[in-house]
Amino acid sequence: MTVDWLDLSTAPHLPTLYTQAARKRKITGSTLPTKGFRCWIDIDTPSLTAFRGVCGIAPSPLLPPTYPHVLAFGLQMQLLTDKDFPFPLLGLIHLTNRLQILRPMGSVTRLRVGVFVHNLQKHPKGATFDVVTRVDDQLGPLWEAHSTLLCKGVQLPGDVPESTALIVPPLTELTRWYAPADIGRQYAKVSGDYNPIHLSAVSAKLFGMPRAIAHGLWLKARALAALSAHLPADNVEISVAFKKPVRLPSEVILLSSDAGSSGDFQLNGQGELVHLIGQWRPIG
């Protein structure tokens, strides 16, 4: 698709965007805007270090695979609260996330981050769309991600497209960890994502959740930290599908295949509860 890019001189101001998000509660249309927002963003070393700490990521000259999402969060908020975007931000459900590392993400201090939306699709519960995030350095494209979100209640014509589920082969336990009750607040501080469903039981109950749930991208970041010795540094696509939410506090169990250019992983709770399934594959 052709994106009508709007270049910003500075990253968006998050408190203002949260106010805009809180005010918009209704669906106002059924078509996505063609505009996108992009901006050059400097990498702040203390912020990156704090992100590594919350996500259990060891020090490295390479940026963590999911860190560009943090750099892009303000731009994503700007786009999803824009007057031309038809759906309310609060209540959107993150279904899948697919990222591509095109080149090793090392020795970078400044990146151009761009975001846009496309691929509106009918869904049994409403409609889905993709938030696309592209990251360039001075040499060109470096990283790209597609996050599929669901907005309930949207009415679109036509049939629901057939879905293809990730097929997970037999896996073995790699590690397990405890997600504390305050991990949503910890991750919010390093990511800027203060969605109420992640912050506390009280705020989550306002949106129909019995307890706070962990951020999906924290789960992915934490899992990829544990898988770091398994994953290629570049030319890799890492996809996850979010299943049952992780209610806080909880213990989670990471299962994985062996290291290699391709592999699969899964994050489980107690019993048969599956929180996340994922895979990594070479690009192309």
Residue 76 backbone dihedrals phi, psi, to 5 degrees: -65, -45
Q: Please say whether the dihedral angle defined by the alpha carbons of residues 78, 25, 215 and 184, taken in this order, is positive or negative.
A: positive
Q: Residue by residue, what is the 3-state secondary structure of 211-225?
A: CCECCHHHHHHHHHH
DSSP the chain: ---EEEE-SS---HHHHHHHHHH--S---SS---EEEEEEEEPPHHHHHHHHHHHTPPP-SBPPTTHHHHHHHHHHHHHHTSTT--S-STT-EEEEEEEEE-S--BS--EEEEEEEEEEEEEETTEEEEEEEEEEEETTEEEEEEEEEEEEET---SSPPPP--PPPP---EEEEEEEE-TTHHHHHHHHH----GGGT-HHHHHTTT-SS-B--HHHHHHHHHHHTTTTS-SSSEEEEEEE-S--BSSEEEEEEE--SSSSEEEEEE-STT-EEEEEEEEE--
- Give the model confidence (pLDDT) of 80-126 as tens digits: 999 999 999 988 999 999 999 999 999 899 999 999 999 999 999 99
Q: Which CATH class is domain 165-284?
A: alpha beta
What's the pLDDT tens digit per position in 166-198?
A: 777 889 999 999 999 999 999 999 999 999 999
- pTM across the whole model: 0.95
- Specify the pLDDT at position 56: 97
Percentage of the residues of the chain whose pLDDT score is greater than 90 = 89
pLDDT at 36 over 90: yes
pLDDT tens by residue, 6-24: 999 999 999 999 999 988 8
Q: Is the peptide bond prior to 180 cis by the omega test (within 30 degrees of 0)?
A: no
Domain 1-163 and domain 165-284 have a common topology: yes
Q: What is the 3-state secondary structure (H, E, C) of 69-106?
A: HHHHHHHHHHHHCCCCCCCCCCCCEEEEEEEEECCCCE
Ordered by start, the domain boundaries in the chain are 1-163, 165-284
- pLDDT band for position 158 (50/70/90)? confident
Q: What pLDDT score does 213 carry?
A: 97
Residue 61 has pLDDT above 90, yes or no: yes
165: pLDDT strictly greater than 80? no
Q: Fold for domain 1-163? A: Thiol Ester Dehydrase; Chain A (3.10.129)
